[in-house]
Amino acid sequence: MSTADRAPVVVAARRTPIGTAGGALRGATVDELAAPVLRALLADVGHPVDGSPARVAGVPVADVLLGNVFGPGGNPARVAALRAGLGEQVPGMTVDRQCASGLAAILAAATAVRAGDGEAYLAGGVESASTAPHRHWPGGDRYTRAPFAPAELGDPDMGPAADVVAAKAGISRQRQDAFAARSHSRAVRAQADGTFDAELVPVAGLGADQRPRPGFTPERLARFRPAFTPDGTATAANSCGVNDGAAAVLVVSERVRRALGVPGLALAAAATRGCDPNLLGLGAVPAMTEVLHGVDTRSASAAPGPPDTVEFTEAFAGQALACLDAAGVDEHTASPDGGAIALGHPWGASGAVLVVRLFSHLVRARRGRTGLSALSSGGGLGVAARWEVVS
């Protein structure tokens, strides 16, 4: 098979509604969230799950790769694959790159397709903050989060680190609140217009994202107090929530896409990079810079102009703005239907949510031909991917 035939393409993309931790999805475990999404992806390309080994256009599903951060362990991707009824032969692998896990899983699937290891993969992420088990260190101290870096190098919590990043980048509280208010208003509008409907898989009785609420103006947001440091600028209203949800895509070879006869999102470039863990929110910057302004080594030509659509995980308004500014991305083009500030941030799933949203914009709605998905994660890491529509 030629190199062109092995090019990875996303041909289906789905997600659950994003629930507020302790809310409508509070009783759904990670595998219960992910399984219906996996089934929906196969149904979308005309291969509903019927109990036999899962196949796409005659090609077996080679693996299920899911990102997850705070789940129960025990390889939730394999559990979800079995719960989805994909067949005992379909394995599963769980990926942890913290908040970037979902996007990292998709890129791992794309790499496997390009390498010729398989031609069809289900990949994405899932998080259930509501059902994450309580953990304790030996001796009884509560385990609240994983170490992102050795303590002697600096391992700040994300909220205080976001305040530092915003201050160093000169992002004012007013600008952060305006950015957050825009995210909220865009999500409310998109929800009312039915923009999300085609990508959603109802689960546990929830058919719509829980977090979007009208009425968040910059003036209202200005009344919120700092959430993490006394003189900080990150608040509960201009930061993401703690959430439950799952998102995944079907990644196939270009050969399989042609056999299906459907349009898709082809992976044009991707990068995973690191930065100072004390400034962990800036991890996306070198990755975004590489895929937007670097050289595409496969074609030995300069990267194209600005993408038509940008999906960036808005963990904190100040941190998101610092990354977008540093990478040369117009803040007004990011998250056109609202981002994580308005929709929520189900950690292990969030990177996959970005690709689902791009698929809806570029393939379902035909609103452009090129897109960027990017986010920062714990430990000073960043992942970015550039996509192009093929048909």
- In this prediction, residue 305 has a pLDDT band, given cuts at 50, 70 and 90, of confident
Q: What is the pLDDT of residues 332-350, one digit of tens each?
A: 999 999 999 999 999 999 9
Distance CA 269, CA 32 (A): 32
What's 281's DSSP letter? G
Decide if pLDDT at 300 tops 80. Answer: no
Mean pLDDT of 233-241: 97
Q: Is 345 a catalytic residue?
A: yes
pLDDT digits (tens, 9 = 90+) for 320-330: 999 999 999 99
Check pLDDT > 70 for residue 298. Answer: no
Is this prediction's pTM over 0.75?
yes
Kindly indicate the confidence band of residue 143, based on its pLDDT and cuts at 50, 70 and 90: confident
Is residue 275 part of the annotated active site? The answer reads: no
Mean pLDDT of 109-114: 98
Quote the pLDDT of residue 140: 84
Taking domain 8-134+241-390, whether its CATH number is 3.40.47.10 is answered by yes
Position 297 pLDDT exceeds 70? no
Identified catalytic residue from 47, 184, 240, 345: 345
Domain ranges of the chain: 8-134+241-390
DSSP labels for 206-275?
Answer: B-S-S---S---HHHHTTSPBSSSTT---BSSSB---EEEEEEEEEEEHHHHHHHT--EEEEEEEEEEE-
How many of the other CB atoms lie within 10 Å of CB of 133?
9
Residue 245: strand pairing partners:
127
Query: For residues 237 and 312, what is the distance between their CA atoms, to the nearest angstrom?
Result: 18
Q: Does residue 295 carry a pLDDT above 70?
A: no
Contact 229, 241 (CB under 8 A): no
Q: CA 260 to CA 56: how far, in whole Å? A: 8
Nearest CA-CA partner of 62 in 13, 131, 108, 15: 108
Run of H or E residues at 95: strand 93-95
Please return the burial class of 261, using the count of CB atoms within 10 Å of its CB with bins 0-12, 13-18 and 19+.
exposed
The position carrying tokens 């256009």 is: 57
Q: Flag whether pLDDT at 371 surpasses 60.
A: yes
DSSP 23: S
Choose the catalytic residue: 47, 99, 275, 323.
99
Share of the chain above pLDDT 70, in %: 97
Residue 382 host element (H or E): strand 381-390
**Mean pLDDT, residues 106-117:** 98
